[in-house]
Chains A and B, each alone.
Chain A
Amino acid sequence: EVQLVESGGGLVQPGGSLRLSCAASGFTVSSNYMSWVRQAPGKGLEWVSVIYSGGSTYYADSVKGRFTISRDNSKNTLYLQMNSLRAEDTAVYYCAREGAAGWFDPWGQGTLVTVSS
């Protein structure tokens, strides 16, 4: 069964850092395009970042220079390193397989990041 499980969310102060993890099963992370998508409380979906199978990475302007997407092939796990966090980064963060076709399927269950003092 294809599955994604996120972890690492929590409460962090403004300016702080957090690393999210997304463990995959049923498929190989390094052979796929993998993305992070976030959803602020009561709001819509916002694409955050993608890592291609070849290793290229892209970011939304709102997080560029502060967030870094990466993967560990040996652990079949995707990561999102978040630095210089702001209140507006508060959201549920989902990892998703984007696939070569550009659609997000499947999604993980999400992990909540709260940036507050």
Chain B
Amino acid sequence: EIVLTQSPATLSLSPGERATLSCRASQSVSSYLAWYQQKPGQAPRLLIYDASNRATGIPARFSGSGSGTDFTLTISSLEPEDFAVYYCQQRSNWPLNTFGPGTKVDIK
């Protein structure tokens, strides 16, 4: 099983600041990695797929990078609606998808 580790667990930032979230895989997943955003009481929403491609309707302030075992989600300038939990997901050993434990971005 491929294990995903996310860091930090919590990121406390102010609106307008840059957020950098990390996701590390226990073995290479090539570029088969996605990022999701989840707000309280809501379902997750796909942000980034194939490591660096924004999903439909996702603002340009969200960007993804990385390949192999190390990946980054960057939010260039935090908007109030961006404070949420972010999960990474790998599909390298499909159909056995796995998710990371999440990073909470909260208001400082």
- Closest Cβ of chain A: how far from B41's Cβ, in Å? 9
Q: How many of B's residues come within 8 Å of A, CB to CB?
A: 23
Residue of A94, A102, A103, A108 most packed against chain B (CB within 10 A): A103
Which residues of A sit under 8 angstroms from B44, Cβ to Cβ?
45, 94, 104, 107
> Chain B, 58-93, contact with A by CB distance < 8 Å: what is the 0/1 string?
000000000000000000000000000001010100
| B107 contacts chain A at the CB level, 8 A cutoff | no
- List residues of chain A with CB within 8 A of the CB of B96: 47, 58, 60
**Cβ–Cβ contact B91 & A110, under 8 A:** no
Q: Is the CB of A109 within 8 A of B43?
A: yes
Whether the pair A58, B95 counts as a contact (CB closer than 8 A) is yes
Tell whether A102 pairs with B43 under 8 Å between CB atoms, given A44-B87, A44-B99, A46-B99: no
A102 B94 Cβ-Cβ under 8 A? yes
Q: List which A37-63 residues lie within 8 A (CB) of chain B.
A: 44-47, 50, 58, 60
Query: Which A positions have Cβ atoms within 8 angstroms of B?
Result: 35, 44-47, 50, 58, 60, 94, 98, 101-110
